[in-house]
A and B are shown apart, each in its own frame.
Chain A
Amino acid sequence: MAENKKLQVALYWGAACGGCDVAVLDTNEFILDIARAADIRLWPIAVDGKYKDVEAMADGELDLCLFNGAVRNSENEEIAKLLRRKSKVMVAFGSCAYMGGIPGLANLTTREAIVDRAYFHNPSIQPGNHTMPQSETQVGAETLHLPRFYKRVYKLSDVVDVDYFVPGCPPAPAQVKGVVRAVIATADGGSLPPKGTVVGASDRALCDDCSRAKAEKKIARFYRPFQVVQDPKRCLLEQGIVCMGPVTRSGCGVRCPDSNMGCRGCYGPLPGVHDHGARFLSALASVIDSKDRTEIDAILDGIPDFIGTAYRFGVPASLLQRSVRS
C-alpha cells in the first residue's frame, strides 16, 4: 500500500439492533486510531455515506467491510452483495451476521405470523387500521419501492462469500481492536489468517477461561437466575442455572458468568461442531441426575424455552435452519 494511502473501510448493518456498531464505538479512544489509519466510506449509524457513493466505487476499492446483522430482507441482501463486490475483505461481524443471531429466531415462526403481529394484531395499532407496507407503491407517475421481507432469515454467508467471522453479541471491544489492528498491520506486510477463520475469539470452551470452581455436575432441578440465590464462586451449571459455557467458544472475557448470568452462547459453537444447539443438548443431557423418563421430563420442564436457549443466536446456522412451517 502506498505511503499516504489510508485503509478504506465500510461498516454496515443488516437485520441488527445496532449493538455491533456501538461495540465498535466501545473501543473508546481507539476509534481515533481507526480514523487515523482508515477512511470510513460507509457507516450508516455514524457517517453520512450513501449507497450511490458505494456503487460508484471500483470493485475491490474497499480494503475491509465489517458487516453486522443478519439478512432479513432484499435491502440487506442487495447491500451485502454490493459491499462484497467492492471489498477485498468481507467480515461477518457479530453473531447475527455469523449465525443469524437474535433475528434468526424468527425462523421458528412464519413470515405471515410476523406481519400479522406487526401490522394487524398488536395492542398499539388502532382497531380497523389495515395499513400495510407494500414493496411497490404508485404515487402519481412515480413508483416507490420498499425492501421485500423475506420468508426467513439468512446468515451473511448464505448470500455472499465471507472471508472472516467475528462472533459475539456484541463482539468484545478488545476483540474488535485486535481484528482492526490485524487488518491495519497488513499495510506493513502483516498477513491475515486463512479464509473462513473465526477471528477475534478463542478455540477453547468458555469453561476453560471461567474462574468458577468446577466439580462433577449432577443436576436434579433447573433454576432461572432469579429463582435462586447463587454461589458466585461455583459453576453455574452445577447450581442448576443453564449455562452454555461447555459448548461455546471463549474470547468474550467470560462477561456473562462473571456477572452471575449463564453463558448464552453468542460466541457460537466450538471449532468442528456443526450444530451448537445439538451439542448443548448433549452436554446438558449428560449432567441430568436421573434415569427415569418421567422424572427427566419434570427436570427439563425447568427450562421453559429450550430451543430459544440452545439456538438463541444460531437458528439459521443450525442443521435444520428453520421451522418447516416457515
Chain B
Amino acid sequence: MSFEPRIVAFLCNWCSYTGADLAGTSRIQYQPNVRVIRVMCSGRVDPAFVLQALATGADGVLVCGCHPGDCHYSEGNYKAMRRFPLLERILAAYGVPKERVRLEWVSASEGQRFADLVNDMTDRLRALGPSPIKSGLRTDAVERY
C-alpha cells in the first residue's frame, strides 16, 4: 500500500473552521488526509500541541487562523504569528523539515483556499515520505546503539 500522509489541522473556530466548512458545503473536493481539530483561536494552539502531534505519529501539522487584523479576539492570531518563527527554529534544530508544519491564514469565505492548501500540503508530505519521529522514539526505547 502506498504511503498516505496523516495531517493534524488545528483550525480556529471563527475563520478557518468555517472556511473548511464552506469547502464542504460547496462540494469542493480535496484529499482526505487531514484530521481537523477545532480550537477557539489560533492563539489557543500551544506549540506543545504541534510537538505532541508529531511525537505521536502525525506526518504534518497545519495551523490555520484568521487573517492578521481579522481575529475574533483581536490579537490571538498575532500570538500564533509570533510563536511560529520560534517553533520553526525548534523544529529545524530537531531536524524536522519545514514542510511538516505550516501556519496559514484562511478566512470564513476561503473554502477553495482551504482545499488548495490541504491538497498542496498532502502532495508535499507524500513526496517527503512518512515522518520518522514516532517510529524513532519507539526504537529508542529498545535500541540504544
Q: Are A and B part of the same complex? A: yes
A residues with a Cβ closer than 8 A to B are: 74, 77, 108, 148, 150-152, 154, 158, 273-275, 277-279, 281-282, 284-286, 288, 290-291, 293, 296-297, 300, 306-307, 310-311, 318-325
Q: Are A300 and B86 in contact (CB under 8 A)?
A: yes
Q: Are B82 and A288 in contact (CB under 8 A)?
A: yes
List the one stretch of B8-16, B23-31, B133-141 in contact with chain A.
Answer: B133-141
- By beta carbon, the residue of chain B nearest A77 is B144
| Chain A residues positioned under 8 Å from B52 (CB to CB) | 274-275, 319
| Chain B residues positioned under 8 Å from A277 (CB to CB) | 90
Expressed in whole angstroms, the Cα–Cα distance for A297 and B72 within the complex equals: 25
| Chain B residues positioned under 8 Å from A288 (CB to CB) | 82
| Chain B residues positioned under 8 Å from A325 (CB to CB) | 95
Count of B interface residues, CB-CB < 8 Å = 31
| CB<8 Å pairs between A and B, sample of 15 | A74-B144, A108-B94, A275-B51, A281-B83, A281-B90, A282-B47, A285-B79, A285-B86, A310-B90, A311-B90, A319-B48, A320-B94, A321-B140, A322-B140, A325-B95
| Chain A residues positioned under 8 Å from B86 (CB to CB) | 281, 284-285, 300, 306, 310
Q: How far is the CB of B68 from chain A (nearest CB, A)?
A: 7
Q: Are A278 and B144 in contact (CB under 8 A)?
A: no
Expressed in whole angstroms, the Cα–Cα distance for A158 and B81 within the complex equals: 35
Q: Are B51 and A324 in contact (CB under 8 A)?
A: no
Q: Are A278 and B47 in contact (CB under 8 A)?
A: yes
Q: Are B83 and A324 in contact (CB under 8 A)?
A: no
Q: Are A323 and B95 in contact (CB under 8 A)?
A: yes
| Chain A residues positioned under 8 Å from B95 (CB to CB) | 323-325
Is B98 located at the chain interface by the 8 A CB criterion? no
Is B1 located at the chain interface by the 8 A CB criterion? no
Residue of B48, B89, B145 touching A151 (CB-CB under 8 A): B145
| Chain A residues positioned under 8 Å from B93 (CB to CB) | 108, 306-307, 323
Binary interface encoding of chain B residues 102-145 relative to chain A, with 1 for a CB under 8 A from any of its CBs, else 0:
00000000000000000000000000000011001100110111
Given A285-B83, A319-B52, A320-B51, are A152 and B46 neighbors across the interface (CB < 8 Å)?
A: no
Expressed in whole angstroms, the Cα–Cα distance for A325 and B95 within the complex equals: 6
- By beta carbon, the residue of chain A nearest B50 is A278
Q: Are A286 and B82 in contact (CB under 8 A)?
A: yes
Given A148-B145, A150-B145, A291-B68, are A319 and B55 neighbors across the interface (CB < 8 Å)?
A: yes
Number of residue pairs A-B, CB distance < 8 angstroms? 99
Given A285-B79, A307-B90, are A324 and B85 neighbors across the interface (CB < 8 Å)?
A: no
Q: How far is the CB of B42 from chain A (nearest CB, A)?
A: 12
Is B20 located at the chain interface by the 8 A CB criterion? no
Q: Are B82 and A319 in contact (CB under 8 A)?
A: no
Q: Are B85 and A274 in contact (CB under 8 A)?
A: no
Interface centre among A290, A296, A311 (most CB of B within 10 A): A296
| Chain B residues positioned under 8 Å from A279 (CB to CB) | 46, 48
Given A285-B82, A296-B82, A300-B85, are A275 and B133 neighbors across the interface (CB < 8 Å)?
A: no
Expressed in whole angstroms, the Cα–Cα distance for A300 and B85 within the complex equals: 8
Q: How far is the CB of A152 from chain B (nearest CB, A)?
A: 6
Q: Are B55 and A320 in contact (CB under 8 A)?
A: yes
| Chain A residues positioned under 8 Å from B55 (CB to CB) | 319-321
Q: Are A282 and B46 in contact (CB under 8 A)?
A: yes
- By beta carbon, the residue of chain B nearest A323 is B95
Q: Are B144 and A150 in contact (CB under 8 A)?
A: yes
Is B87 located at the chain interface by the 8 A CB criterion? yes
Q: Are B81 and A291 in contact (CB under 8 A)?
A: yes
Is B63 located at the chain interface by the 8 A CB criterion? no
Q: Are B54 and A286 in contact (CB under 8 A)?
A: no
Q: Are A324 and B133 in contact (CB under 8 A)?
A: yes
Q: How far is the CB of A111 from chain B (nearest CB, A)?
A: 9
Residue of B46, B48, B82, B133 touching A290 (CB-CB under 8 A): B82
Q: How far is the CB of A148 from chain B (nearest CB, A)?
A: 6
